[in-house]
Chains A and B, each alone.
Chain A
Amino acid sequence: MTTWRQSATRRRFALLTLTVLPSLYAARLMLSLMPHKGASVLEWITISLFFLLFCWISVGFWTALFGFAVTLRHSTRFFPTLNRQDGPIDNDARTAVLLPLFGEDMDRVTAGLGAVYESLRATGELDRFDFFLLSDTTSPDGWVAEEAAWLDFCRAHQATDHVFYRRRRSNVKRKSGNVADFCRRWGRLYRYMIVFDADSLMAGDTMVQMVRTMEGNADVGILQTLPQSVNRTSLIGRATQFNGALCGALFAAGLHWWQLGDAQYWGHNVIMRVEPFMKHCQVPRLPGRGPLSGDILSHDFVEAALMRRAGWGVWLACDLPGSFEETPPTLIDELKRDRRWCQGNLQHGRLVFSAGLVPLHRLLFLNGILSYGSALLWLLFLISSSLQATVAVLVPPTYFTGPGLFPQWPTWSPTRAMQLLAATALLLFLPKVLGLVAAVIGRKTRLFGGSGRMFTSALLETLLSALLAPLRMIYHSLYVTTTLLGWKVGWNVQTRDDLGTTWEDAFRAHWWCCLLGILWGGFMALINPGFFWWLSPVVVPLALTAPLSAITSKSSLGIAARRAGLFVTPQETEPDDVLCRLFEELRAPEGYRTLPLRSGQGFLRAVVDPKVCALHCSLILRHHFPTQKQLERRRELALQALERGPESLTNHQKLELLGDPEQLSFLHRSVWSLPPHRAAAWGLVHSYQTCNPVDAEKSNS
């Protein structure tokens, strides 16, 4: 792989040329459509924004086109998997699989872990892998639930020697700090680490292939796989995963074509070489105050840039199947996630000029910023266009602007306008057409539910994307603006299920978007009806944001679409073994429980359930060295809890009690000795009482 740098230079030059030159031509065309041909400042602002946006969508278009060409030619040039080691894997090449957790649903986590674990066992290489559940969970209930789930999993899969659990007391630097903490403690035991997200899935064979590829390419530091979206039932989730299945591979092949060894790391479903990662990839804190300072939220791009800076290759293994993830199930979940990503990407602006970074990673930082910044540019473009349309109506035209006596008439060329519209549409929609063509040529239409259904699904998905694009634009613009203004963004947990958004929630979240759409559209319809029709694809969906958000989040609609054969993906038609295993794990009936406590009631379980209490105390006892002052305070807390019930404790106080095995044992014994009316508050009810502690309390009172 010594020549990839020369090829990369040539390919990137081609991409740059193909992006910039047509964009300049399109901007010139746009200029000719302006009433005053660039004579006003407003027109020049509009043209500049148009040029930037045209460049932005051109990059996506050419990436897909290159990917299509690579796929069509079955070209595997520079694929890192070609050099993978085929013999037995070196005994020292041990791999840690990391699952960072932050208050996740442990039923889903252990089901996924079980599927991956058994899939890996089937390869016969399980002994080379260890799994680490790395918790940053801050809730007492979540902490205990994780411990209990870990032990249940180990017992069910005889995995005590291969599956480990660690919880950090302080989640400094969030996910990147969590991984760094692992590296400091156990990193030296492993040559590689595979990083998952809580919803990641990977086939055992894929993981072994990743290790083999790393073994065969000694200069590769990070190998990123292309995760396919799966398991969604909501309409928006299914449409997104269909689009990913149709076009994702093309984009990945295209990205690989021009990025080569300067690729990016997407935060999960990736294998990394631990030693150079520990040496070079600790993400720095950004100095100063405000949202663009402190811990870098989108640490993955930075880690890739640092790895590359140290001379290690970062590659995208676009040909490795068997890597899966789940997308947000609702629009609100997606927007919540985007808020975090937006802040993280904007922080990269402070790293663009850092010493030693390869030029492409500087551009990729800018690209990440533009992922959200382009929304603001688009909004500014629309506002400036609307202002121009308003000025054109309200301000009387000046025909005699030149020195002579001849008037200068504003001209309008509908042919050029249509050409420009067609070119923009081509850039936006041709990648989807290429995805369809690739599926037809590759005889994969059956996997998408048949030709007719595949084309219908693509059409519906395009329509849905077009409807949702203005909403995403408004929200992304808001995020960019608020972040730059210094409003803090928290680390929200995604709701990774398909419960859907209620109409009430949708209106509460999006009412202002609806109002904006109605006011903007109404104003333009009154002032300049001709321009309103050009603007209607933006303002009409905006006015309908709340209904769109509620409707697209419905699982019932997604399931109905699936029954009709729409938005079907290859992973549904011919699911990978690891996905089948996941469904089996999720369908497995819940184990018998003696006590009527749900798995999510972690604190109650730690106090009441003798097995959970014993496990929790034992895990802490090994590392427990409290001070006298702490002991006294915790004793008071235990007595308070006993007197007033668990609801009297704050989460912080519960955490403190959970950190003290002596007080927990005392509380456990005391609760079991309480009379029934007080024990019910702890969920300790007898067979003739109701199983819900809250109801039990009510019945007792």
Chain B
Amino acid sequence: MRRPPLDDDWRLARDRVLLYAAALDLPPYEGLELAYESLSATPQASITPAMEHFFSLLEDRGRGLEVHDQQGLHISSFPPMKRGVMVAEPLDRLPWFTDLRHRLKALTSGDRQ
């Protein structure tokens, strides 16, 4: 490996890539390997190209930012639905008043006839 001069930019790029590899929780060798590859392929001592390279390596290896279930679909946190209906049943809150209204209505309509 080409050994770059160890200035602050290199240190920052190295630490950022290693931190990401650690945060991914990959198997230790795989994480370090990815970090090694991305740093060694980075043309200049800077965080941005190092991380971009790291992301493209991850994608190449099929380790994108997604979690899949056993069928290869995006993970779901709930089971398949079996939809049903739940609606409020009619609730007459003042049945005596409704009754009175109906009677009055019947009475008035009777008068008209």
For window 276-334 of A, CB contacts with B under 8 Å fall at 278-280, 282-285, 306
Q: Please, which residues of chain B bring their CB within 8 A of the CB of A351? A: 91, 93
Q: Please, which residues of chain A bring their CB within 8 A of the CB of B66? A: 614, 617-618, 621
Interface-side segment among A109-117, A541-549, A669-677, A692-700: A669-677
Q: Is the CB of A594 within 8 A of B82?
A: no
Q: Is the CB of B25 within 8 A of A282?
A: no
Q: Is the CB of B82 within 8 A of A282?
A: no
For window 38-90 of B, CB contacts with A under 8 Å fall at 47-48, 51-52, 55, 65-68, 73-79, 81-89
Give, as a whole number of angstroms, the nearest-CB distance from B96 to chain A: 7
Query: Quick one: closest B residue to A135, CB to CB?
Result: B77
Q: 1/0 per residue B2-30: CB within 8 Å of A?
A: 00000000001001100110111100000
Majority-rule SS of B interface residues: loop
Give, as a whole number of angstroms, the nearest-CB distance from B106 to chain A: 19
For window 626-665 of A, CB contacts with B under 8 Å fall at 665
Task: For A187, give its contact among B25, B84, B87, B89 (CB under 8 Å).
Answer: B84
Q: 1/0 per residue A322-364: CB within 8 Å of B?
A: 0000000000000000000000000000110111000000000
Q: 1/0 per residue A253-285: CB within 8 Å of B?
A: 000000000000000000000000011101111
A673–B53 CA distance with the chains assembled, in angstroms: 11
Given A188-B82, A617-B66 in contact, is the A674-B47 Cβ separation under 8 Å? yes
A423 contacts B by Cβ under 8 Å: no
Q: Please, which residues of chain B bring their CB within 8 A of the CB of A284? A: 88, 91
Task: For B12, give its contact among A147, A610, A686 (CB under 8 Å).
Answer: A686
Majority-rule SS of A interface residues: helix
Task: For A686, give its contact among B19, B65, B78 (CB under 8 Å).
Answer: B19
Q: Please, which residues of chain A bring their CB within 8 A of the CB of B24? A: 610-611
Given A282-B87, A355-B92, A611-B24 in contact, is the A189-B19 Cβ separation under 8 Å? no
Given A183-B84, A355-B95 in contact, is the A164-B74 Cβ separation under 8 Å? no
A600–B47 CA distance with the chains assembled, in angstroms: 28
Q: Please, which residues of chain A bring their CB within 8 A of the CB of B23? A: 594-595, 609-611
Q: Is the CB of B74 within 8 A of A183?
A: no
Q: 1/0 per residue A181-204: CB within 8 Å of B?
A: 001111111000000000000000
Q: Is the CB of B93 within 8 A of A354?
A: yes
Q: 1/0 per residue A58-79: CB within 8 Å of B?
A: 0000000000000000000000
B1 contacts A by Cβ under 8 Å: no
A355–B23 CA distance with the chains assembled, in angstroms: 61
Q: Please, which residues of chain A bring their CB within 8 A of the CB of B48? A: 673
Q: Please, which residues of chain B bring their CB within 8 A of the CB of A433? A: none
Q: 1/0 per residue A523-546: CB within 8 Å of B?
A: 000000000000000000000000
Given A594-B23, A595-B23 in contact, is the A278-B79 Cβ separation under 8 Å? no
B94 contacts A by Cβ under 8 Å: yes
Given A278-B85, A283-B88 in contact, is the A353-B75 Cβ separation under 8 Å? no
Query: Quick one: closest B residue to A621, CB to CB?
Result: B74
A686–B48 CA distance with the chains assembled, in angstroms: 15
A12–B19 CA distance with the chains assembled, in angstroms: 70
A164–B83 CA distance with the chains assembled, in angstroms: 17
Q: Is the CB of B65 within 8 A of A610?
A: yes
A166–B77 CA distance with the chains assembled, in angstroms: 7
Q: Is the CB of B84 within 8 A of A150?
A: no
Q: Is the CB of A186 within 8 A of B77?
A: no
Q: Please, which residues of chain B bring their CB within 8 A of the CB of A355? A: 91-93, 95
Q: Is the CB of B81 within 8 A of A185?
A: yes
A180 contacts B by Cβ under 8 Å: yes
Count of chain A residues with a beta carbon within 8 Å of a chain B beta carbon = 53
Q: Which of A150, A284, A618, A676 has the most CB of B within 10 A?
A: A618
Q: Is the CB of B67 within 8 A of A614?
A: yes
Q: Please, which residues of chain A bring their CB within 8 A of the CB of B92? A: 354-355
Q: Is the CB of B79 within 8 A of A615?
A: no
Q: Please, which residues of chain A bring their CB within 8 A of the CB of B73? A: 622
Give, as a whole number of angstroms, the nearest-CB distance from B53 to chain A: 11
For window 398-456 of A, CB contacts with B under 8 Å fall at none
Q: Is the CB of B84 within 8 A of A165?
A: no
Give, as a whole number of angstroms, the nearest-CB distance from B5 to chain A: 19
Q: Is the CB of B75 within 8 A of A185?
A: no
Query: Quick one: closest B residue to A595, CB to CB?
Result: B23
A212 contacts B by Cβ under 8 Å: no
Q: Is the CB of B86 within 8 A of A180?
A: yes
For window 106-154 of A, CB contacts with B under 8 Å fall at 130, 132, 147, 150
A223 contacts B by Cβ under 8 Å: no
A188–B83 CA distance with the chains assembled, in angstroms: 7
A460 contacts B by Cβ under 8 Å: no
A486–B55 CA distance with the chains assembled, in angstroms: 57
A537–B58 CA distance with the chains assembled, in angstroms: 73
A686–B47 CA distance with the chains assembled, in angstroms: 13
Give, as a whole number of angstroms, the nearest-CB distance from A87 to chain B: 27
A687 contacts B by Cβ under 8 Å: yes
Q: Please, which residues of chain A bring their CB within 8 A of the CB of B89? A: 279-280, 282, 306
Q: Is the CB of A350 within 8 A of B93?
A: yes
Given A355-B92, A617-B66 in contact, is the A594-B25 Cβ separation under 8 Å? yes
Given A164-B78, A166-B77, A668-B65 in contact, is the A185-B83 Cβ separation under 8 Å? yes
Give, as a whole number of angstroms, the nearest-CB distance from B98 to chain A: 8
Q: Please, which residues of chain B bring their CB within 8 A of the CB of A165? A: 77-78
A619 contacts B by Cβ under 8 Å: yes
A283–B94 CA distance with the chains assembled, in angstroms: 17
Q: Is the CB of B22 within 8 A of A164?
A: no
Task: For A669, give its contact among B51, B77, B84 (CB under 8 Å).
Answer: B51
A613 contacts B by Cβ under 8 Å: yes
A353–B23 CA distance with the chains assembled, in angstroms: 61
Query: Quick one: closest B residue to A275, CB to CB?
Result: B84
A251–B69 CA distance with the chains assembled, in angstroms: 50
Task: For A130, give its contact among B67, B79, B87 (CB under 8 Å).
Answer: B79
Q: Please, which residues of chain A bring their CB within 8 A of the CB of B22? A: 594
Given A187-B86, A284-B88 in contact, is the A615-B93 Cβ separation under 8 Å? no
Q: Please, which residues of chain A bring their CB within 8 A of the CB of B52? A: 669, 673
Q: Is the CB of B95 within 8 A of A618?
A: no
Q: Is the CB of A615 within 8 A of B75?
A: yes
A353–B87 CA distance with the chains assembled, in angstroms: 21
Q: A-B pairs with the 9 shortest C-beta distances?
A: A355-B95, A165-B77, A282-B88, A618-B67, A284-B88, A355-B92, A164-B78, A673-B48, A618-B74
Question: Besides the contacts A185-B83, A676-B47, what 10 more A-B pairs have beta carbons closer than 8 Å?
Answer: A164-B77, A186-B81, A353-B95, A613-B65, A614-B65, A614-B67, A619-B75, A619-B77, A622-B73, A622-B75
Identify 12 residue pairs between A and B in the complex whose beta-carbon atoms are under 8 Å apart, listed by A's number. A164-B79, A184-B84, A185-B78, A185-B81, A186-B78, A188-B83, A279-B86, A284-B88, A351-B91, A355-B91, A610-B65, A673-B51
